[in-house]
Copies of this chain bind each other. A is one copy, B any other.
Amino acid sequence: MVRKMDKYDINTEERILKAAKSVFHRKGMYGARMQEIADEAGINKAMLHYYFRNKENLFKAVFRDAVEKIFINVSKFLESEGTIDESIKNFVENYIDIMIENIYLPPFILNEINQNPEKLSEFFKPLLESLPVQLIKKILKETSENKIKPIDPRDFIINIISLCIFPAIAKPIVKELFNMDDEKFIEFLKNRKKSIPEFIINSIKLT
């Protein structure tokens, strides 16, 4: 796996991984073809097996990377310090930025989990267990102190995540529905960094 290389070169393993991401993200585990990955990496199929032994291993490397990018950060931002309002703004802004940079990942991950739910325990369990404890406590506290409208913390968490992630999953439909090209679509997402926190904060604040 280790190879002397030119400073400006990138090594074969990285080239493969990059190509594998591109193909798996678009086509999923079963739609992807090893040949296509090899072509995109500019090498031949045998190399894929030399570095990753089989398709399943290569896929897992890609999937693990995707989960880390998308879910490690959910965890981090959901648990931030400060008031609820600050937490919401912080989460949404950071999360939509991640989404814009990795627009293919949410459909890729969610599709894989729906088709293979057992992957959940293999990749997510440690993440999920520790996830939103702090935030739930914060919501319950603010509710009991009459600082926000009462809301089931589970609904709150699902709502904020839904509003951030769903447009990435429905991208082709959203673009078609509102006649957007890619640029307009990104602009739409960027605007949601402001509109989603407003939407959520309005809905929970006392009148």
Contacts and interface: CB of A to CB of B under 8 A. Distances in A.
Nearest to A116: B31
A115 B162 contact: no
Contact of A162 (B111, B124, B162, B171): B162
Contacts of A149: 202
Given A28-B115, A30-B31, A172-B120, A161 B154 contact: no
A107 to B, nearest CB: 4
A170 interface: yes
Interface residues of A, number: 54
A10 interface: no
A178 interface: yes
Contact of A172 (B114, B172, B177): B114
Interface stretch (A58-66, A81-89, A92-100, A187-195): A187-195
A169 B110 contact: yes
A117 interface: yes
Interface in A186-207: 188, 191-192, 195-196, 198-200, 202-204, 207
Contact of A26 (B115, B163, B191): B115
Q: Which of A114, A163, A165, A172 has the most CB of B within 10 A?
A: A114
A145 interface: no
A177 B129 CA distance: 7
A43 interface: no
A6 interface: no
Given A128-B173, A158-B166, A202-B203, A195 B151 contact: yes
Which of A132, A173, A174 gathers most chain B CB within 10 Å?
A173
Nearest to A166: B162
A204 to B, nearest CB: 7
Contacts of A199: 151, 155, 159, 203
A29 B28 CA distance: 11
A176 B114 CA distance: 13
A128 B204 contact: no
